[in-house]
Amino acid sequence: MIKCFEKATKKTIILAILCISVLLLLGACGENSGGSEDATDETTAATEEQTTTEVAAQVSDTLVVYFSHTGNTKAVAEKLHEFVGGDLIEIEPVNAYPEGYDAALDPAKQEQRENARPEIKGTIEHFDSYETIYLGYPIWWGTTPMIINTFLESYDFSGKTVVPFATSGGTGIAQSIEDIRSEVPDADVRDGLLVRDNDEIEPWLKNLGLIE
């Protein structure tokens, strides 16, 4: 009877040990799988962080944007962009002006008389991220082409620095700067440059403290 009891106790102990071992093993597996989940979470977080940083690095705070009908301002914009970097974007009208200097004179005058806002192709993404905006245009009838007014009214310029530059057949830039300032009163509109020679660009930017 005692032997039988002893046998039964031994069996129970062995069973209990087996059960505990199985339970411990399961526990360990559980911990491991939880650990690998944590590791996966960490990897995902690291990847997301990296992606956000990469996106942040791609979005520049500098924009060089210009309108050019016959190419003079475009050439200046490209030169200026070499100094300041950032994004370079052309303002293109939905309805193109007739080709050539003379052909554009009357339509441009008409737009000015009507205080028109010629439509611009497309929109600029991430405009909010730009802090300094270099704005280039030809002088048309003494000031900015009306499409520049459309541009200035299309985005929120408050708190931004606007740096105008222009080309012309001789007229100065002063009137256009005044007009830009009244379009975007909440922006810091710097003294612009009428570019007669590309060699003027670098000293002007240095003088404004915009490049070193």
Footprint of ligand FMN (CB under 6 A): 68-74, 101, 104-105, 108, 138-142, 167-171
The number of residues making up the chain comes to 212
How far apart CA 201 and CA 196 sit, in angstroms, is 9
Min dist CB 191 to ligand FMN, Å, is 19
Q: How far is the CB of 141 from ligand FMN (least distance, A)?
A: 5
DSSP 8-state secondary structure symbol assigned to residue 128: G
Pick the closer one to ligand FMN by CB: 161 or 171: 171
Residue (65 or 160) nearer to ligand FMN, CB: 65
Specify the residue, 60 or 112, whose C-beta has the smaller distance to ligand FMN.
Answer: 112
Judge contact between 72 and 97, C-beta under 8 A.
Answer: no
**Distance in Å, CB of 157 to ligand FMN, minimum:** 22
Nearer to ligand FMN by Cβ, of 160 and 180: the residue is 180
**Shortest gap between Cβ of 119 and ligand FMN (angstroms)?**
18
Q: Which of 128-161 are b and which e, b meaning 16 or more Cβ less than 10 Å from the residue's Cβ? A: eebebbbbbbbbbeebbbbbbbbbbeeeebeebb
- In 3D space, the residue among 113, 74, 72 whose CA is nearest the CA of residue 92 turns out to be 74
The nearest distance, CB 50 to ligand FMN, in angstroms, is 41
Distance of CA 63 to the CA centre of its chain: 8
CA quadruple 25, 30, 31, 32: dihedral sign: positive
The residue (of 62 and 136) whose beta carbon lies closer to ligand FMN is 136
